[in-house]
Structure 1
Amino acid sequence: MQLIIAEKNIAGQRIAELLAEGKISSSREAGAQLYTFSKNKEAFELIPLRGHIVELDFPPEYKNWYGTDLKSLAKAEIRYEPSEKQIANLLEKKGREAEKVIIATDADREGESIGAEALRFLKEANPKIKEERAFFSAITPKEISHAFENLQKFDYNLADSADSRREIDLIWGAVLTRFISLMSGRTGKEFLSVGRVQTPTLALVVDREKERRAFKPIPYWELKAILEKDLQKFEALHKQARFLNEEEAKKAFENASKAEFGTVQKIEKSKRRLSKPIPFNTTEFLRAASSIGVSPGEAMNLAEQLYMQGFISYPRTDNTAYPASIDLKEILNALLNTEFSKLAEKILSKGKLEPSRGKETKDHPPIHPELPAAKSRLSERQWKVYELIVRRFLATLSEDCETENLNAEIELNKEPFIAKGQLIAKLGWKEFYPYSTISEIRLPELKEGDKCKKIKLGNEGKETQPPARYSQAALIKLMEQLGLGTKSTRAEIIQKLYARNYIFGSKAIEPSNISFAVIEALEKNCEKVTKPEMTSELEKEMDLIAAGEKKKKEVVEDSRKYLLEILEALLQKKNEIAAELYKGFRQDSLLGKCPKCDGNLRMLSGRTGKRFVGCSSYPKCTNSYPLPQKGRIKWLDKNCTECSASMIEVFGNRGKYQMCLNMECKTKESWKKKPAPAPKAKTIEKTQMKEKEKASAKPAAKKPARKKTARKKEKKKERSGL
């Protein structure tokens, strides 16, 4: 019997169906899924995993956050423990029965690591079992058949490179997360995560916000004229696009105002070629998905689902050039019986295909469609992503877009204005890829010496704008440029920043006051932790492991030494860091002035964990308000137009909304549910006393060790600090 290992159940079932000669048998053994089939009169069994079946953890003596020396934690042994015991048991059982195992997990670092986990259990049961690797970039009949006819050697170096990242991320995440959380007094559910990739990424967002706050707008003036010729109106801007001097702008405006007609002085015609887009790699795919309203995290999940069903190629790749092994015409022919038939026909009618090319790498091909999908077979969101991938593929095989451009210089009493026109000469790839639009600007027939009637003249004062906040797509692109994370982890890192309440806002990412506190505390006292250079160097070392030029143990030990240097610097400044963090948390909880006294309204948590607004002057002032229990809350520094209460903005899973704190306000009349009552005065008193105790408590005060039931939660925290 030959055994096959797949990464997930849906992929395993499909691989079995594609390989089987006849029906496959599905059963459960030892509580785990098993597929049985025959091929070439030989028996095969396939075990689908659930991604990683082994988790990394420290020995039990390091579980207690309060009683563990952080330097010891940085040096602690890392254990590989089974997280899916039923699958592990089945692997050991089938390992004793099988002659050979074929690893058919995803063909990348993480897939190799997952395959290595399965091999450990198999070889413990049967050291003599033969092993081979099936590499494929799509779960389609052709790809799977080719992969199993051309089996390769398993790459332990690639698996080690992935495992080194997991070990380093656990060590760094555990040590730095515990340090910051203990310094701030934020443990339990409200712990603060810090990590090798997460923290430099957060620093990018905070630094951009600092740029925006420090930005001083520069005033400028624009002169715009509305002209008319042959009953056609058009727009012209002054040749000096921006006047930085108001007096100069006024003078030019007064001069141009004296003219009833403008005279065409010069006509310039040109042609512009807009190159067709290159094929999708992971980063470009996530950016494009974000532009159509699909967040990077959701886009990766949807792409993974489409890949598992065989509709698209593997979605994690750096490649932007189709290899010669891909039959582009075959894919186009498959699209002839779909909603994209007319577009596919148009490209096939050209004859020779000339796809655009970006940067060629040795990993998977660019993301492209494989099997044709019917809209009725996919969810609305799956179809949205599938259509994006199909249209991008078609666009890469089409032609460049061409435009004819005209610039007309028109004088109004010797003041030069420029009118710009644009006509589409060839729509090209824009026909196939409507997500990138182009518009025509039509001008009347103009030639030198023509007169144009002045209809309107404007002098508009404007200001330069601060640098824009990053979108998720822009942040992923920047992370790629700086070597932060990998194509597989960048979207996940950003989602963790949202989950930790470090950032909010979907289209424009904004850092919370807590983010400022954490980053400023680290930048002032140990800047290395916040810089991308640190983590990009480690990524290079992991590449050397994959290439067989370095050993995993050596890289992990080097990383431990570097972490100990950083930890020493942090411990020397622990009091300054604690003070900086506390200041930031106080700021984050402020929600404006109390309308009943001179105190500040602050967001607090009651005994049950429910949050509410209380006055900082308690017990003299018992004013309080209930709050929504879910979502990130931001004070808007403005008052309700109906009742004058402080306004807040709530960022939830379904978007954001604004509300005032006064639950008796007219604006709440349409609310169906009554808000939960604000906590009683005793609750406010206990909450504020707790906060005072936290502020005065020593950072490293010992607490009793946690029970075993809390260990799973602790593991989750350690792994959060990527």
Structure 2
Amino acid sequence: MPNKILCVAEKPSIARAVAGHLSGGQQSVVSFAPLDISIFVKNFDFHYNFPPPWGSCQVTMTSVIGHTVEWDFTKDYQKWNSCEPHHLFDAPTEKTVGDRKDIAENIKTEARCSRALFIWTDCDREGEYIGTEVRDIARTVNPNIEVKRARFSNIERAHILRAAQHPVELDERQAQAVAARIELDLRIGAAFTRWQTKLLQSIEGLEQKVISYGSCQFPTLGFVVDRYRRVKNFVPEQFWSIKVMHKRDDINVTFNWDRNRLFDRMMVIVLFEKCLQAKKARVTKVQKKPTKKWKPLPLTTVELQKLGSRFLHITSQEVMSIAEKLYTNGFISYPRTETDQFDPGMDLRALCEKQTQSPTWGPFAQNLLNGAFESPRNGRNNDKAHPPIHPVTYVTPNALANQNERRVYEFIARRFLACCSSDAVGEQSTVDIQYGPEGFHASGLRVIARNYLDVYVYDKWESSQPLPQFIEGEEFVPTEANITDGKTTPPGFLTEPELIALMDANGIGTDATMADHIAKIKDRGYVFTRVRAGGDQQASGMEEFAPSNLGSALVEGYDQIGFENSVSKPFLRKEMEEKMKKICEGQMERHDVVHSTIEQYREMFLRAKQQSRLLKDITSRYLTDDGV
């Protein structure tokens, strides 16, 4: 067996970058009979000195393009009318290479004469599973090929060289968790999709429409519908409050009622009259105390999606697409991570130094190096695979393709520098008064040191008008006192950051898939979006979600069928995700997870089928009567 090692990355751009680092630029490039799907896949040949026992080796670096193997039912079950939909819960399945035969053949060709296979897929669950796909393809022609994986979270040269010198084993547990999820999504999605499509296709407007189902998409849709119902069914209530104002040193100080507001007008009038009868207010407490606005935690994928939508007004799907491109170009670390704490061994100052080149935030980075650097806060999450998202090099705006790429990169850079800075420091002043039987309070803020706020322009913390001097125990006659009134207002429709937060809290999808689930319910016509106007300045301009009539009908129908265990609720999918984690931790086996989860969804399927008339009637009502 020749001393050759085959290296396979998850995407062509990573293969090119890794080959460039390992070869020192001394590689030959070979294209292999490119078909449409593999036109960007190339083989890079070079020599590299691996650690023992391999030593100096001939290397071929190539890639796949994501998944190479497809998982589907056998041919007897692939046609929609081949069986009853509920049979798909148990129907035989098979793995095939499908449209990626040329990529698989390339792996086989190179693996035949290779001593070892190094997997360079992304270091997450999906990457581990794709790595096992590559391994299994290679072993069809070389059963004894040794398999290792390179662990890396960015494509800086030093990081890549370290990964090549310290290979590890593929994580079979993570791969098995993904395999379980793929099988469950196939069986559950196909069974419900075929059944509900056939059931509803007789309704006008749905004759040619596929009413698809996904165990993540439906709970995501359920969140949108739930908020829509709260808005639609909201009944405003009148409330009353008492406000006291006192002018001192030409400053109008507003004292807010400790009770905030009451919904009983006569009670407010009685309390207000007692305040007036007292004539004077007495200062019960004057306090000045230091306060801080904490700098942000290191950046995770979920936070990047939420804040990209909130601050940059870019959809979470586009944010992730841009972040992936920035990563493959070597500009940022791996953008799919749950970790919000930096490893103590990371040289964060060196990363700060690279940002000193920026004409915009470079002076702030330089100040950190001059002594203002402070270690980042530690969050509670560490996936043990990737560090928080951070810039690995400075990138000039001209090197980025468009304005949105520049804005996402700038946000990541500013967030990282803010993490390495100090909390903002201020002084909070509070004056409490007693006016008759009621308590009131006024407060003011003086920002003393902005610190991280100077670079993290997305956070706001401003000094208020200073409070004049009050002395504890003094009495004064308020300049003005009156009763105010108002009405409660409904919540707004869900914005994308709010929807992502709900998905994250309820275990719907992973940090890497949430944006895709949101995009799918939009593409399928279950929800539509519009731009929010007015209200909160930060929320204004963001997309907000409302369900279509079809989306509302599906959720209401399944809710009435399933009640608290409806497939539009997050509980079943959350339990499934928790089982996936247990596979990764070695507490459950893939077969047991698949079996137990299938039985849960089978029960819901049979219940839905027994009450199919209910779902059909509700859908028909929504679509023909423009909803209810």
Q: TM-score, normalising length from structure 2?
A: 0.87
Which of 474, 478, 484 is the matching residue for 2:502?
Answer: 478
Which of 526, 531, 534 is the matching residue for 1:502?
Answer: 526
Q: Which residue of 2 aligns with 1:522?
A: 558
Contact 2:373–2:421 (Cα < 8 Å) also in 1? no
Distance 1:179 1:142, change over 3 A: same
Per the alignment, in what secondary structure is the counterpart of residue 510 of structure 1? strand
- Residues of 2 paired with 1:254 and 1:71: CA distance? 70
Give CA deviations for 1:152-205 in whole Å, capped at 9, x if unaligned: 112233222112111110111111111111111176762222222222222222
Q: Which residue of 2 aligns with 1:704?
A: none
Alpha-carbon shift at residue 466 of structure 1 (Å): 2.9
Distance 1:407 1:583, change over 3 A: same
- Residues of 2 paired with 1:56 and 1:380: CA distance? 39
Q: Which residue of 1 aligns with 2:574?
A: 536
Distance 1:570 1:445, change over 3 A: closer
Give CA deviations for 1:350-409 in whole Å, capped at 9, x if unaligned: 277322111142231111121221121113111211111122212222112222122234
Pairwise mapping of residues 204-283 of structure 1 onto structure 2 (< 5 A)?
204-224=223-243, 227-249=246-268, 266-283=285-302
Contact 1:221–1:244 (Cα < 8 Å) also in 2? yes
Contact 2:200–2:616 (Cα < 8 Å) also in 1? yes
- Residues of 1 paired with 2:155 and 2:477: CA distance? 63
Distance 1:423 1:165, change over 3 A: same
Q: Which residue of 2 aligns with 1:354?
A: 375
Moved more, 388-397 or 227-236: 227-236
- Residues of 2 paired with 1:261 and 1:518: CA distance? 61
Contact 1:338–1:372 (Cα < 8 Å) also in 2? yes
- Residues of 1 paired with 2:562 and 2:286: CA distance? 59
Q: Which AA in structure 1 matches 2:321? A: N
- Residues of 2 paired with 1:316 and 1:415: CA distance? 52
Distance 1:415 1:105, change over 3 A: closer
Q: Which AA in structure 2 matches 1:344? A: A
Per the alignment, in what secondary structure is the counterpart of residue 84 of structure 1? helix
Which of 575, 584, 594 is the matching residue for 2:622?
Answer: 584
- Residues of 1 paired with 2:378 and 2:453: CA distance? 17
Contact 2:432–2:440 (Cα < 8 Å) also in 1? yes
Q: Which residue of 2 aligns with 1:165?
A: 181
Is 2:171 the partner of 1:155?
yes
Is 2:420 the partner of 1:420?
no
Alpha-carbon shift at residue 322 of structure 1 (Å): 0.7
Q: Which residue of 2 aligns with 1:370?
A: 392
Moved more, 65-74 or 286-295: 65-74
Pairwise mapping of residues 326-475 of structure 1 onto structure 2 (< 5 A)?
326-339=346-359, 340-350=361-371, 353-361=374-382, 362-378=384-400, 379-409=402-432, 417-448=440-471, 449=474, 454=479, 459-475=483-499
Distance 1:27 1:423, change over 3 A: same
Contact 1:512–1:588 (Cα < 8 Å) also in 2? no
- Residues of 1 paired with 2:23 and 2:544: CA distance? 49
Moved more, 290-299 or 183-192: 183-192
Is 2:53 the partner of 1:37?
no
Moved more, 395-404 or 188-197: 188-197
Q: Which residue of 1 aligns with 2:323?
A: 303
Distance 1:588 1:310, change over 3 A: farther
Distance 1:72 1:309, change over 3 A: same
Alpha-carbon shift at residue 536 of structure 1 (Å): 2.1
Number of equivalenced pairs: 589
Alpha-carbon shift at residue 14 of structure 1 (Å): 1.1
Moved more, 579-588 or 294-303: 579-588
Distance 1:63 1:398, change over 3 A: same
- Residues of 2 paired with 1:435 and 1:581: CA distance? 43
Alpha-carbon shift at residue 20 of structure 1 (Å): 1.1
Segments of 5+ residues of structure 2 without an aligned counterpart are 50-55, 531-542
Which of 12, 17, 28 is the matching residue for 2:15?
Answer: 12
Is 2:556 the partner of 1:547?
no
Q: Which residue of 1 aligns with 2:61?
A: 46
Give CA deviations for 1:219-250 in whole Å, capped at 9, x if unaligned: 11244455533334444434442142334545
Give CA deviations for 1:429-458 in whole Å, capped at 9, x if unaligned: 22221211012111353223486884x766
Contact 1:21–1:39 (Cα < 8 Å) also in 2? no
Q: Which AA in structure 2 matches 1:488? A: A
Which of 555, 570, 575 is the matching residue for 2:613?
Answer: 575
Is 2:578 the partner of 1:559?
no
- Residues of 1 paired with 2:28 and 2:507: CA distance? 45
Give CA deviations for 1:92-142 in whole Å, capped at 9, x if unaligned: 211223222111010111111112222222111222222110010111111
Moved more, 191-200 or 6-15: 191-200
Alpha-carbon shift at residue 348 of structure 1 (Å): 2.1
Is 2:209 the partner of 1:190?
yes
Give CA deviations for 1:409-436 in whole Å, capped at 9, x if unaligned: 4688998653321111222322221211
Contact 1:272–1:404 (Cα < 8 Å) also in 2? yes
Contact 1:229–1:452 (Cα < 8 Å) also in 2? no
Distance 1:494 1:189, change over 3 A: farther
- Residues of 2 paired with 1:319 and 1:74: CA distance? 35
- Residues of 1 paired with 2:178 and 2:221: CA distance? 23
Contact 1:513–1:587 (Cα < 8 Å) also in 2? no
- Residues of 2 paired with 1:307 and 1:532: CA distance? 32
Give CA deviations for 1:37-63 in whole Å, capped at 9, x if unaligned: 333463221112211122222223323
- Residues of 1 paired with 2:466 and 2:399: CA distance? 47
- Alignment RMSD (CA, Å): 2.8
Q: Which residue of 2 aligns with 1:86?
A: 102
Give CA deviations for 1:528-576 in whole Å, capped at 9, x if unaligned: 3233221222222222333344443343233333333332222221222
Q: Which residue of 1 aligns with 2:340?
A: 320
- Residues of 2 paired with 1:22 and 1:429: CA distance? 40
Contact 1:109–1:159 (Cα < 8 Å) also in 2? yes
Give CA deviations for 1:628-668 in whole Å, capped at 9, x if unaligned: xxxxxxxxxxxxxxxxxxxxxxxxxxxxxxxxxxxxxxxxx
- State, as a whole percentage, how many aligned pairs show the same letter: 28
Distance 1:412 1:554, change over 3 A: closer
Distance 1:582 1:231, change over 3 A: same
- Residues of 2 paired with 1:50 and 1:496: CA distance? 22
Contact 1:7–1:106 (Cα < 8 Å) also in 2? yes
Is 2:159 the partner of 1:143?
yes
Per the alignment, in what secondary structure is the counterpart of residue 509 of structure 1? strand
Moved more, 172-181 or 538-547: 538-547
Moved more, 486-495 or 71-80: 71-80
Per the alignment, in what secondary structure is the counterpart of residue 131 of structure 1? strand
Contact 2:444–2:467 (Cα < 8 Å) also in 1? no
Distance 1:193 1:263, change over 3 A: same
Give CA deviations for 1:267-290 in whole Å, capped at 9, x if unaligned: 332322222221112112222212
Alpha-carbon shift at residue 328 of structure 1 (Å): 1.0
Q: Which AA in structure 2 matches 1:4? A: C
- Residues of 2 paired with 1:99 and 1:422: CA distance? 67
- Residues of 2 paired with 1:322 and 1:468: CA distance? 36
Contact 1:230–1:444 (Cα < 8 Å) also in 2? no
Q: Which residue of 1 aligns with 2:308?
A: 289
Distance 1:240 1:566, change over 3 A: closer
Alpha-carbon shift at residue 343 of structure 1 (Å): 1.2
Q: Which AA in structure 1 matches 2:158? A: K
